[in-house]
Amino acid sequence: MIVVTGGAGFIGSAIVWRLNQLGKDDILIVDELGEDEKWKNLVGLNFADYLDKGNFIDRIIDGDPDLDIEAIIHMGACSSTTEKDADYLMHNNFKYTQELAKYCIGNNVRFIYASSAATYGNGEQGYDDNEKELNTLRPMNMYGYSKQLFDLWAKKNNLLNKLVGLKFFNVYGPNEFHKADMRSVVHKAYGQIKETGKVNLFKSYKKDYEDGEQMRDFIYVKDAVDMTLFFLENKDKNGIFNIGTGNARTWNDLVTILFKSLNKQVNVEYIEMPESIRDKYQYFTQANLHKLFEAGYDQPITSLEDGINDYVKNYLIQEKYLGT
C-alpha cells in the first residue's frame, strides 16, 4: 500500500490522481478534512481507505503490525506562510514528520516528504539543493523554519541517504480551491478578473525591481507530481531535491498570460504590500534543477503559458477537479 498524507490536499490529491492514471489504487489517504471543502478533491479518485492524521500517527508510533506499507509520500503539513502558532507548526510539521521518518527507516518503507523553497529565506545563499549548505539557510517565516528543522534533523542523523526531501517552489494548478489565502496567484487573480475585471499585484519596495517585476519559479502541479513520483519509482535516488522549473518569471508575466487565456485586456493595479510581510517578502526565487536532472529526471517541464492555459480552460472555467 502507498500512503499519501495530505492526500485530500492540493499536491497530495494530485499525486493520488496520477497514481490512479498509472493503474495504482491500493492507496491509503491520510488527512484532516475539517470544515472546508477539501473533500471535493477526493471525488473521482480511487483509493483503498482513508484515515484521520491523528489515528494514523498513533498507529505508526504503536508499530501497528496490520499496516502493510510500501511507501509514505508525506505531503501533509500546515502550509501557511503566515501561520503564527509556532507550537502548532513544530508539532504538525516537524515532530509528525520525524515519527513518520523513523517508522519508514525502521521498516524499510520508502519515505518521500515535502520540504519547501521557503527554507531558502531571502535567497542570499542561492537556491541550490546542496545538502552541505543546509545549515547556512535562514528561513524568513515560521513555516519555512519548521521545514528547515526537519531537513537539518535528517542531516544531523545521517538519514538523507535513506529518504527524499522535496523543496517545492511556487506550485499552481487544479485542486487548490480550498486553500484560501494560500492559493496560488493564478487562482486568486482568476477570481479577481471574474469579479472586477482587473488584478491586484503588490508594489515593489526594492529599487532593483519595478512594480510586478518580482520573480518566482512557478511550477504546474502536474509537473510537481511527476517529479515526486520519479522518486517513488527510483528508490536508489535519495537526498534533498528542488521541485521547480528552473526558470523564474515575473508576476506581470503571469497575469498577462492569464488575461490572454481569458481573451481579456490586461488590467493591473499595483497596491501597497502589507507592512507585516514586507521584510519577509521574496523578490526572486529560481530552483536549481541540476541535481534533479543528474538523478535521471528527463521529462519535459510545462511552460508557464501552457500550464496556465490548461488550468484555466480545463479546470477553472469548468470548475473541475482532477479526476472529475
**For residue 123, what are the CA distances in angstroms to 9, 145, 153?**
27, 14, 21
Of 179, 198, 203, 260, catalytic: 179
Report the Cα–Cα distance between both ends of the chain, in Å, rounded. 23
Of 103, 113, 127, 143, catalytic: 143
Rounded distance between C-alpha atoms, residue 196 and residue 314, angstroms: 22
- Catalytic site residue 143? yes
Q: Report residue 215 as a C-alpha cell.
A: 520573480
118 burial type by CB count under 10 A (0-12 exposed, 13-18 middle, 19+ buried): buried
Residue that is written with C-alpha cell 488584478 in the block: 199
171 burial type by CB count under 10 A (0-12 exposed, 13-18 middle, 19+ buried): buried
- Catalytic site residue 260? no
List, in sequence order, every residue forming a beta bridge with 39; answer none if it has no partner.
none
- Residue 266 has, within 13 A of its CA and on its CB side, a CA count of 13
| CB atoms near residue 55 (< 10 Å) | 10
Q: Which residues are catalytic?
A: 143, 179
